[in-house]
Structure 1
Amino acid sequence: MPTFQPLTIAVEPHGDVTVMRCAGEIDIATAGLLRARMTDVQVDGPSDLVVVLDDVTFLDSLGLGALISAHKRARVLQGSFTIVCTSSPVLRVFAATAMHRVFRIVDTLDEALEQDA
């Protein structure tokens, strides 16, 4: 049986872009933390946000909702919202919900930062 992986979030400034690296599980227990951190970063810092989900092993509907909220907030703040993701479980959720058509999802941080430049 898989073990629970608590969510860790690291925030890194990259010029006019904030990079948020997430690792672990984004679910009912951790989605609120993610939502709060993304809100704080977008409101208090640059409105361009890159969220790195490469080390996320699970994403539920509440986590997806938090990402959707950040995407909408970026539009309101006239910023950008990019997801870096190579995690198969997360990419499957995006495909199953058609969110891969809504979010800008790239394979590498360099690619995300180039698009935001």
Structure 2
Amino acid sequence: MRQERAPLSRHLRVRQDRGHTVLEFLGEIDIAAAEEIVPYLDAATAPPAPRIVIDLSPVEFFDASGLRLLYRARSRVLARDGHLSLVCVHPPTLRVLRVVGLARLLPPLPTLDDALRRPGTPAR
């Protein structure tokens, strides 16, 4: 069952959906947004074997601070034997993910439904 929640900040909405914690990044993900998001990202990735989906669909701008958030999430999920999926269709963001090699480590999926249908892949 999907639980919709109001954004925790201007840049993040968190909800539970099909056994996953969905972190939906909103708007412009820059250094200020990252500072707001980190505590929630850390809380979501703290339990053992977390099942996390980071949804970048609503993102309009994504800089190195956003990349650091993704690497942080990946590292924390790996350390706890969890699963992490990424949803992204924004062409400039996809290009950045490919250039830095993150797309190989965390292949972006085209829809949230695709990410939630998968049983979960290890965040290798």
TM-score interval w.r.t. the shorter chain? 0.7 to 0.9
In the alignment, is residue 115 of structure 1 matched against residue 118 of structure 2? Answer: yes
Alpha-carbon displacement from aligned partner over 1:14-60 (angstroms, at most 9, x marks no partner): 14210111111111111122222111112158711001101111111
Name 2:96's counterpart in structure 1.
93
Contact 2:49 2:80 in 1 (8 A): no
Q: Indicate if the aligned counterparts of 1:28 and 1:62 stay in contact, CA closer than 8 A.
A: yes
What is the percent sequence identity of the aligned residues?
29
CA distance in 2, matches of 1:106, 1:37: 22
| Structure number having the greater strand percentage | 1
2:58 aligned with 1:55: yes
Match of 2:5 in 1: none
CA, structure 1 residues 8+62, in 2 after alignment: closer, same or farther (shift >3 Å)?
A: closer
Normalised by the length of structure 2, the TM-score is 0.81
State the shift of 1:8 in Å. 2.3
Correspondence 1:34-45 to 2 at 5 A: 34-43=37-46
Q: d(CA) in 1 for partners of 2:55 and 2:84?
A: 11
Unaligned 5+ residue runs, structure 2?
1-8
Moved segments of 4+, more than 4 Å: none
Match of 2:33 in 1: 30
Q: TM-score, normalised by structure 1?
A: 0.85
Give the letter for the 1:49 counterpart.
I
